[in-house]
């Protein structure tokens, strides 16, 4: 049994202010001397960046769709190990989850899996007595979800606060905070949500400090901490990347270091996805490596989307993970044996990425050698011939551009061909999140056959390259890092 004091910070709907308040609470408790473990429900990459800034610890996602409900408590305990308090920011409205799949992956679902009390952040800007009916509805909808406190946000005045508190006295849910609207705590947004920390670090630091000050002034921190301590112990064992990823490849995981700033193909209903598709391999690259092959990980302002567990799994499987910045570094890390390029906003930095011709040529040469390269979303764009007309790495026979259409949602997919990440027939769950288009959208050997919510092929498997719009969480597909690294050790 493991006892971690914890709270889930939820809201009736998106836009209520839960990110601002959750981040402010994380920083306020950290400033008070507590070791705070930050978590985010769902697949979002951007909010955890602010959580990390507030706490000094990696922001971690808890996604029951991609990782499976059975892994939520273990992943939580892994991230919260040694901490005094864990704060979990919810996603969307409290009961909103994977479309058409009930409570799956909702904040309520995760709160139940963690047996954590929920604090509801309510945008009170356009209501008074009605707030009691709203809170009562959320608190009584699912008796297994313990809505144990309310923080009133965007309160207009002292008089308004009095009316709200008076109404809530009969609800049985205590008010643990009341905050006024303050412009200094706002975080700018653009086409995919908040602007990431890496692109505005100084301003982000100031905003997080302002959020903490607002929370200290308006919230009952002692009451919130006492509520967190009321959570019962969890019986699960912490998730262990070493036990999952190593697979006997190496007796000891390698350290990581940073450079720069920062199913079966014949399964019923799936056969048509493979028609005419050659079964690819993983290339024949033979890099110069030591006992721990170097896996270069793209970072910096253009590539900010990465789950902390990916690096942990690669390290446990024997990699020396080295982060580099494609905006600044003109060469890949020394002795690079493989490359991982996650998501981010290359479209906002296309000119700078294109101007770094030495690195583009180095990436193209690595791909030509047959080295394993895993590219998700932003990585797919970077490996294309061009992005909004500017030259990119030219690894893939495709061109990318910005689009008016937002592509967003959970996906189910199956690997069409053997590749560095998965054997043909492997089923995965992931998500898409972009406002770009790659033309053509698939190569001679697609990366995935999408099976839900629609059937289509997507992405590229080309030599040792696996490039796709689909974001996956490797903790939900435990063999991914093992396979990626096993290919390097076999060469």
Q: Which residues are catalytic?
A: 377
Reading the block at residue 245, the tokens are 């990823």
Region of 67 please: left (phi>0), alpha (psi -120 to 50) or beta: alpha
In the beta sheet, which residues pair with residue 323? Answer: 258, 297
CA-nearest of 82, 85, 84, 86 to 60 is: 86
CA-nearest of 66, 84, 77 to 115 is: 77
CA-nearest of 302, 405, 402, 387 to 344 is: 302
CA atoms within 13 A on the CB side of 78: 21
Who's near 179: CB < 8 A, 6+ residues apart?
17, 21, 151, 152, 153, 154, 155, 214, 215, 218, 219
In 127-229 the beta strands, taken as DSSP E runs, fall at 147-155, 175-180, 189-190, 193-194
Reading the block at residue 270, the tokens are 């799936």
Pair 439, 399: CB distance under 8 Å: yes
Dihedral of the alpha carbons of 68, 70, 73, 76, in degrees to the nearest 10: -30
Q: Coil, strand, or helix at residue 216?
A: helix
């Amino acid at each position: 049994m493991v006892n971690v004091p914890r709270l889930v910070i939820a809201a009736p709907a998106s836009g209520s202010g839960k990110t601002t308040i959750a981040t402010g609470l994380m920083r306020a408790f950290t400033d008070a001397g507590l070791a705070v473990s930050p978590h985010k429900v769902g697949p979002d990459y951007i909010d955890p960046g602010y959580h990390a800034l507030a706490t000094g610890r990696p922001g971690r996602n808890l996604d029951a769709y991609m990782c499976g409900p059975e892994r939520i408590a273990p992943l939580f305990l892994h991230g919260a190990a040694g901490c005094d308090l864990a704060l979990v920011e919810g996603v969307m409205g409290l009961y909103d989850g994977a479309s058409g799949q009930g409570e799956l992956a909702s904040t309520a679902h995760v709160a139940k899996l963690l047996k954590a009390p929920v604090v509801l952040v309510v945008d009170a800007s356009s209501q008074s007595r009605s707030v009691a009916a709203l809170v009562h509805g959320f608190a009584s909808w699912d008796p297994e979800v313990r809505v144990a406190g309310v923080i009133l946000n965007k309160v207009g005045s002292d008089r308004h606060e009095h009316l709200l508190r008076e109404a809530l006295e009969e609800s049985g849910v205590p008010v643990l905070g009341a905050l006024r609207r303050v412009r200094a705590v706002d975080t700018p947004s653009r086409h995919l949500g908040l602007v990431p920390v890496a692109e505005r670090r100084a301003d982000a630091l100031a905003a997080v400090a302002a959020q903490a000050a607002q929370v200290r002034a308006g919230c009952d921190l002692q009451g919130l901490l006492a509520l967190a301590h009321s959570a019962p112990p969890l019986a699960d064992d912490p998730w262990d990347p070493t036990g999952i990823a190593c697979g006997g490849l190496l007796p000891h995981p390698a350290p990581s270091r940073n450079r720069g700033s920062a199913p079966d193909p014949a399964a019923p209903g799936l056969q048509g996805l493979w028609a005419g598709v050659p079964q690819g391999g993983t290339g024949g690259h033979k890099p110069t490596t030591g006992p721990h092959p170097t896996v270069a990980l793209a970072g910096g302002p253009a590539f900010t989307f990465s789950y902390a567990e990916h690096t942990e799994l690669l390290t446990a499987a024997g990699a020396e993970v080295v982060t580099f910045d494609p905006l600044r570094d003109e060469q890949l890390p020394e002795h690079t044996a493989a490359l991982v390029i996650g998501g981010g906003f290359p479209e906002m930095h296309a000119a700078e990425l294109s101007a770094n011709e030495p690195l583009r040529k180095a990436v193209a040469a690595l791909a030509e050698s047959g080295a394993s390269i895993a590219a998700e979303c932003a990585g797919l764009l970077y490996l294309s011939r061009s992005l909004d007309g500017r030259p990119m790495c030219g690894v893939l026979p495709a061109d990318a551009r910005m689009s008016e259409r937002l592509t967003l949602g959970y996906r189910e997919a199956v690997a069409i061909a053997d590749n560095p990440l998965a054997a043909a027939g492997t089923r995965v769950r992931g998500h898409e999140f972009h406002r770009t288009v790659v033309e053509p959208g698939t190569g001679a050997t697609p990366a995935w056959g999408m099976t839900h919510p629609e059937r289509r092929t997507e992405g590229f498997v080309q030599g040792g390259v696996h490039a796709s719009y689909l974001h996956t969480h490797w903790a939900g597909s435990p063999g991914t890092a093992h396979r990626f690294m096993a290919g390097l050790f076999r060469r």
